[in-house]
Structure 1
Amino acid sequence: MNDAVDSTEGDDPTARQRRVWDAGAAHYDRQMAFFEKIWFGGGRGWVGERARGRVLEIAPGTGRNLPYYRADVTLTGVELSPAMLAIARRRAADLGLDADLREGDAEHLPLPDASFDTVVCALALCSIPDPAAAIGEMRRVLVPGGRLLLVDHVVSTWPPIRAAQWLLERWTIRSAGEYFTRRQLPLVEAAGFEIVAVERLKAGSIERVHASKPGPA
């Protein structure tokens, strides 16, 4: 979720998203506090409880997941927006966390193969321009047997909400590159992950996915 930023016809989608998130960074925490109270509640705790070992968070934004990770994980984050990243780094410092938070693109992760035990992405695949490419990168950097943990808003199972999501997208895709009728689970399956657990909430409009990269644990 984010405030709108006008885009230029034919603009590079990743550059546009960087501008969108940079422009909305100062207001993001206040905006998300409202939506988490009525819609996303519990998702950050869900990923934090399940993340293990060397953890990579894709698009950590302002670092709202940071308080939920276990003390024994080693945390890396890759964030597209420098403005969001600056806030996340301040939050990590305030929490006393030694997290490696760096700038980068989810579709082209600046990280070696098979270097993480867990990859987390919360409320970001809805606006990453090529979610299939991002999920492919998540698989690449996971060790065999590694965990993928996703939380996002997805197309609802209830037709009236689904129709409202479609209408809302007519504005949000053009203004902020944000989708409400995507669903990540088919992309996770197509990337070759094994599905461990799936949970849909709020009339199916919120989905939590726990998947595993095939291979020995």
Structure 2
Amino acid sequence: MTSSEDRTARVLRVWEQNAASYDRKIALLDRFWFGGGREWLGARATGRVLEVAVGTGLNLAHLPVDSQVSGIDLSPAMLSIAAGRASRLGRPMDLRVGNAEDLPFDDCSFDTVLCGLSLCGIPSPASAIGEAKRVLAPGGRLLLLDHVASTWPPVYAMQWLLERATIRLAGEHFTRRQLPLVQAAGFSVVEVERLKAGSIERIHALKP
């Protein structure tokens, strides 16, 4: 069985190779599949914000202007693009290379932790959610947006077939669902939305 370290290295390699083309590739999906998701995250974020797997920083424009934003990502190439975006927007941003399963931050450091379209590729999403809980202050918000297993059997079947390749090549899953992991971690779920035949899920949860 492939180790978590091997899976993480594979994810890193994929994003280092694809950083320069990511924004162009995701634009169509943002418009027609994930539509409104980034705005949804931004409307609920508050205070000291940590974005896990920040990528190229596409969510930054939607975050409150008075928020203090930090971001981590495995890929230095992605972070370089995020830094450029933050500079153009005039938004200070603390960007660090880091692993979602072992966050380089102290306990109770943030008011909001968000992760958009990334838990699908993190080797252990349960570990990432546990780390998010650790760094959140009591009452802090966990905001998740991801593609998940569809509620419509024909779409689910296509997702299952697709991930036979994407898991092997890029570590990306299409039939995961994060809500049970959030509940198992002890969060209080206050809002859940499922869209596009149940294949997109938005979760807003609070740390007790």
Please report the TM-score for the alignment, with normalisation by the length of structure 2: 0.97
Deviation at 1:34, TM superposition (A): 1.1
Among candidates 91, 94, 100, match of residue 100 of structure 1: 94
* Count of matched residue positions in the alignment of Structure 1 and Structure 2: 206
CA distance in 1 between counterparts of 2:94 and 2:74 reads: 14
Which of 123-132 and 14-23 deviates more?
Answer: 14-23
Identity of aligned residues (%): 65
CA distance in 2 between counterparts of 1:181 and 1:97 reads: 35
- What pairs up with 1:73-152 in 2 under 5 angstroms? 73-152=67-146
Aligned to 1:168, the other structure's residue is in SS state helix
Aligned to 2:79, the other structure's residue is in SS state helix
Among candidates 167, 175, 179, match of residue 173 of structure 1: 167
1:157 counterpart residue number: 151
2:190 counterpart residue number: 196
Aligned to 1:149, the other structure's residue is in SS state strand
Which blocks of at least 5 consecutive residues in structure 1 are unaligned? 1-8
CA distance in 2 between counterparts of 1:70 and 1:146 reads: 16
Deviation at 1:73, TM superposition (A): 0.4
Deviation at 1:198, TM superposition (A): 0.2
Aligned to 2:33, the other structure's residue is in SS state helix
2:58 counterpart residue number: 64
Matched, 1:31 2:29: no
Query: Aligned Cα RMSD in Å?
Result: 0.9
CA distance in 2 between counterparts of 1:48 and 1:101 reads: 18
Aligned to 1:40, the other structure's residue is in SS state coil
1:4 counterpart residue number: none
CA distance in 2 between counterparts of 1:115 and 1:85 reads: 21
Among candidates 169, 176, 190, match of residue 182 of structure 1: 176
Once the two structures are superposed, residues 134-185 of structure 1 have per-residue CA deviations (whole angstroms, 9 ceiling, x without a partner) of 0000000000100000000000000000000000010000000000000000
Which blocks of at least 5 consecutive residues in structure 2 are unaligned? none
CA distance in 2 between counterparts of 1:171 and 1:14 reads: 17
CA distance in 1 between counterparts of 2:131 and 2:57 reads: 21
CA distance in 2 between counterparts of 1:190 and 1:130 reads: 14
CA distance in 2 between counterparts of 1:197 and 1:45 reads: 15
CA distance in 2 between counterparts of 1:80 and 1:133 reads: 15
Aligned to 1:52, the other structure's residue is in SS state coil
Once the two structures are superposed, residues 14-67 of structure 1 have per-residue CA deviations (whole angstroms, 9 ceiling, x without a partner) of 111111110110110000001111100100000101100000000010000010
